[in-house]
Structure 1
Amino acid sequence: MGIQKILNAKAEYGVPVKIYTNDVDEESMTQLRKMAQLQFIHSHIAVMPDVHLGKGATVGSVIPTKNAIIPAAVGVDIGCGMNAMRLSLKAEQLPDNLSALRNAIERKVPVGFEMHKQIKAKASTLAPLDKRLKLITDKHPALKRMLRHFDSTWQKQIGTLGGGNHFIELCLDENDDVWVMLHSGSRGLGNVIGTYFIERAKKEAQNRFGHVPDKDLSYFAEGSNSFEDYFEAVEWAQEYAYENRREMMRLILEAIRPLLPSFQMTKEAINCHHNYVQKELHFGEEVFVTRKGAIRAGTDEYGIIPGSMGAKSFIVKGKGNPDSFCSCSHGAGRRMSRSKAKNLFSQQDLIAQTQGIECRKDKGVVDEIPSAYKDIDEVMANQTDLIEVVHTLKQVMCVKG
C-alpha cells in the first residue's frame, strides 16, 4: 500500500490536503497551506509523492477548482509533458557506442534556446494552430510583442527540445526492448502566454471568492472575459506542446533510422501532459483540474513517470483513484534547487552518477545530477494505490538542452 497522510487543513487553513508521501519540505507545506485557504477549491487538494516547492503553486499538486482557474498554478511551461514509444528493436541491436546516435539526434533536434532554421512541421499541423492563435492575439496583441519574430518563432520551435529538465532518451525495458522517450512543453510561446496571463490575474480584482493569501494564487473567475480568454489560450498552448512532442518524435526516429537495423514503431505510444488544466468530473461535480507536475491516471489510462538522468523510468497504468483525482506523480521530483545542486556537486560527481550512459557530462548540466532528485523507487512505492507499473525503463542515452 502507498502512503497517504492528510494535512487536515479544514479548521485552520481551509480544505484538507491529501499527501502521498512523508517526504515534504517545510516550504512546500507552507505553500500548500496557502493553497488550501482558497475558497473555490473543490473537496481537497491532492499532493503527489514527487512534491517540491514550485513557483506560484507546489509542484506535484492536483488542484480542483470550481468557477475559477489560477494561471500561476498551471505555470509558464504550459502543456509540458512526456512522449514515449517502443520500437521493434532489442538491446543487442544497438551499437556498442551510442555517441553517433546522440550526435544524430542533436543535429536533428535543436536544444536549449535554439530553433529550426526553417519550419519543419507540416502545413496540416500548423494551419489549425495558426487560425486559433490569431483569434487569441487579436484580443491580446501584447502577446506578439513579448516574443521576437513572433509568427516565425512559434512555428520554427515545433520539434525542438528546450532546456532545463527537458530531455530525449533511448531506454531499455525489462524485456530488453528499445524505447524512445522525451520530455518537453510549449516552448517560448507557451512561456509568453503563461507569463502574460499570470501578470494579468495579479492586476485583476480578487474579491469574488474572498481572501487570496498570496499574489501568486491570483485567479480568473469563470464568466469573466479574462477567464474565457485564458482558457482558450491555455488550451492552445497545451495542443501546441502535444504537437511539439509529436514532431520531435518524428525527427528523432528520422535521425536514428539510418544508424540502426530496420525497425517499426509498436502500438505502445504515449503522449501526456503533466502541467495543464482541463474540465473533469470528480465527486459528482464538473470542476477545473490543474495538474502542476502530475499526470492523469484514470482507470487503465497509460502514463509516463521518468526518473532523473541515470535513474529508472516507468510506463504506468492508472487505477482511477478518486482521492488523487485520478492522478499520479510526473517524475522523481527535485530534492534541491538548481543553484544548490551546482554548489554541492562537481562535474566529477556527475560523471560518476551517469556512468554507463551516453550523455552530456559537462558543468552545464550538473544541476540535473541524479542526486538533486528524490529516489524514484521511493516515489513509486508511495503511489501503489494510484498506478501499477507496466514497464520499467533504464536510460542508455540522454540528450539534454
Structure 2
Amino acid sequence: MPYEKLEIADPVLSWANHQLNPEEMRMAKNVASLPFVFKHVALMPDVHLGKGALVGSVIATKDAIIPAAVGVDIGCGMAAIKTSYTSEQLEGKLKKMRMDIESAIPVGFNENREVDKTVQNWDGWREFKHLHRGVQDLERKALRQMGSLGGGNHFLEVCVDTENQVWLMLHSGSRGVGNVMAQCHINTAKGLAKMAETNLPDPDLAYFIERSPEFQAYWHDLQWAQNYAQVNREVMMERFKKIIEKHLAGGKPSKPLISVNCHHNYAEKEVHFGEDVYVTRKGAVRAREEDYGIIPGSMGAKSFIVKGKGNAHSYCSCSHGAGRLMSRHKAKHNFTLDDLVAQTQGVECRKDEGILDEIPGAYKPIEQVMSNQADLVEVVATLKQVVCVKG
C-alpha cells in the first residue's frame, strides 16, 4: 500500500495500518509543526503512541535533534543469523536449549557474573570518561551488562523459515547505561527549553540546536550508545550460536549463511532529497536498496527478514515490528494465563504471569503490517519461532 497524506497543517505521510486516533494525530501534528523538521514526517505501518513522538515515526531534521524522539533505549534493535541447520535437527532438544540460553544470557535486570574478553577489549571503553557525567558511576555496570538481554519486549528466539532452515534472532539495546544517558540529555533539553521560554507543543519535544555544546555532547554520547547496543547484540549472538552448535553439531563452530544487525531506535546523519539531514528512526528500520532488516511479530507469530527498496518518501525506512495494540497494563487486565498458553502453542517458552503483557494478542497482526509496506521492503525469509526467551 502506498502512503497516505494526512489532512493536517504540516506534511505527514502515513503507511499506518489503522486510522490514527485523535491522540496519535495530535502527536504526529506536534512533531510535523516543529520549524526544523525537513519536508515531512513518515509514519510506519506499526505506528502507535510514544513519548513526544509516535513509535514508528521517521523524523528528518535540519540543524536540530530531539533526544526524546530517539528515546531512552538508544540503539535498540535486532540481530539475526541464518544457520546451516535444519528443523529436523531440533527435535526433542527445544526445552534443553531454552534452559541453556536462559542460563548463559542474563535477562531482565540481571548482568553477567564474569566479563568476556571480547567485552573487555571493546574500543568504546576508552571513550567512557568523555560521556555525560550522569553515567560516570555506571562503567562497571555497563561492562557487566554487555552481552545481556534486558527486559520488556526484548527476546532471544530460535526460528525456522519456510525452507526448514534454522535462524537465531534477538532483540536488545544499550541497556542501563543507554537509558540513564538518554534521560540525562532529555532533561538538559527540557531545562534549556524552559530557560529560553521556547514555545513547544509538547515538553518532550525539547531539542538541541546543531553546533551548540549540548548538541555536540548528545551526538557524541548517542553514537557511543548506538555502538554499545550493536556490540551487545554481537556478544549475545556469539554466545547464543555456541549453545545451538553444542546441541546440533557437538560444539563444532559454524559460519552463518546470512547475518543481520540493525538498529530501530536511533539517529544518523544521512542524505535525503539531495540534502544533509539528521534522521531519527523511533521504532523504524533503515531500508535502503539492498539493506537487510528484521521485522519481528509477537512471540506467537511470524517474523520477517527483509531487503529494503529505498523508498525516498519513507526516508528509506520500514516498520520495526507488529506494534502494540494495547498497553502492558491493559494486556494483563484483558488476558489470562490460559490465553497465553493457547496463543503460544508450539513455542517452547515461559508461560507465566511475568510475560502476560507480551502475549501475542497485545500486538497488531504482523501480516497486516507487512501488507502495508510492500512498497518499502521485499521479504527475504519468513520465520516462525520454536523457542522464545523473554527479557
Alignment TM class, shorter chain as reference: over 0.9
Which deviations, in whole Å up to 9, do the C-alpha atoms of 1:189-232 show, x marking residues without a partner? 00011111011100003799963211000000001000000000
In the TM superposition, residue 37 of structure 1 has moved relative to its aligned partner by: 1.1
Partner of 1:20: 15
Return closer, same or farther for 1:207/1:288 CA change in 2, 3 Å cut-off. farther
TM-score (norm 2): 0.96
Deviation at 1:134, TM superposition (A): 1.3
State how far apart, in whole Å, the 1-side matches of 2:22 and 2:90 are: 45
Q: Kindly indicate whether residue 117 of structure 2 is the aligned counterpart of residue 117 of structure 1.
A: no
Quote the residue 1:106 is aligned against. Answer: 102
- The 5 Å alignment of 1:221-300 reads 221-261=209-249, 262=252, 264-300=254-290
Instruction: Kindly tell me the number of residue pairs found equivalent between the two proteins.
Output: 388
Q: Comparing 257-266 with 206-215, which one deviates more in the overlay?
A: 206-215
Where has structure 1 moved over 3 Å in runs of 4 or more? Answer: 205-211
Q: Structure 2 matches for 1:135-146, cutoff 5 A?
A: 135-136=130-131, 140-145=132-137
Deviations 1:263-301 (A, max 9, x none): 623230000000000000001110000000000000111
Q: Distance in 2 between matches of 1:383 and 1:369?
A: 24
Tell me the distance in 2 between the aligned counterparts of 1:103 and 1:189: 27
Which structure 2 segments of 5+ residues have no match? none
Write the deviation string for residues 74-132 of structure 1: whole angstroms up to 9, x where unpaired.
00000000000011100001122411000001110000000001212526742x21111
1:387 equivalent to 2:383? Answer: no
Give SS of 2:153's match.
coil
Partner of 1:88: 84
Aligned-partner SS, 2:271: strand
1:312 to 291, 302, 306: 302
**Could you tell me how far apart the structure 2 residues matched to 1:195 and 1:208 are?**
20
Deviation at 1:152, TM superposition (A): 1.2
Q: Is the 8 A contact 1:279 1:286 kept in 2?
A: yes
Give a deviation string over 1:328-368, Cα, whole Å, max 9, x none: 00000001100000000011100000001000110110100
Distance 1:339 1:194, change over 3 A: same
Q: Which amino acid aligns with 1:389?
A: V
Aligned to 2:61: 65
Match of 1:333 in 2: 323
Moved more, 204-213 or 191-200: 204-213
Query: Retained in 2: the 8 A contact 1:86–1:265?
Result: no
Q: Name which of 13, 33, 36 aligns with 1:37.
A: 33
Percent of residue pairs identical: 53
CA contact (8 A) 2:155 2:389 kept: yes
Q: Which amino acid is 2:310 matched to?
A: G
- Give the C-alpha shift of residue 174 in structure 1: 1.1
2:127 corresponds to which of 132, 141, 155: 132
Q: Distance in 1 between matches of 2:210 and 2:195?
A: 13
Look up the SS of the partner of 1:204 in the other structure.
helix
Q: TM-score, normalised by structure 1?
A: 0.94
Contact 1:168/1:180 (8 A) holds in 2? yes
What is the aligned partner in structure 2 of residue 197 from structure 1? 185
Secondary structure (helix, strand or coil) at the match of 1:300 reads: coil
- Structure 1 unaligned spans of 5+: none
Label 1:72 to 1:395 Cα distance change in 2 as closer, same or farther (>3 A). Answer: same
Deviation of residue 255 (structure 1)? 2.2
Quick one: structure 1 residues 320 and 354, their matched pair in 2 at CA, closer, same or farther if it must change by over 3 Å?
Answer: same
Shift of 1:29: 1.5
CA distance in 1, matches of 2:218, 2:71: 12
Output the CA distance in 2 between the equivalents of 1:124 and 1:280: 31
- The residue type paired with residue 60 of structure 1 is G
Aligned residue identity for 2:126: K
Secondary structure at 2:37's aligned position in 1?
coil
Report what 2:356 is aligned to: 366
In the alignment, does 2:162 pair up with 1:177?
Answer: no
Q: Residue 363 of structure 1 aligns to which amino acid in structure 2?
A: E
SS of the residue 2:276 aligns to? strand
Partners of 1:214 and 1:65 in 2: CA distance: 17
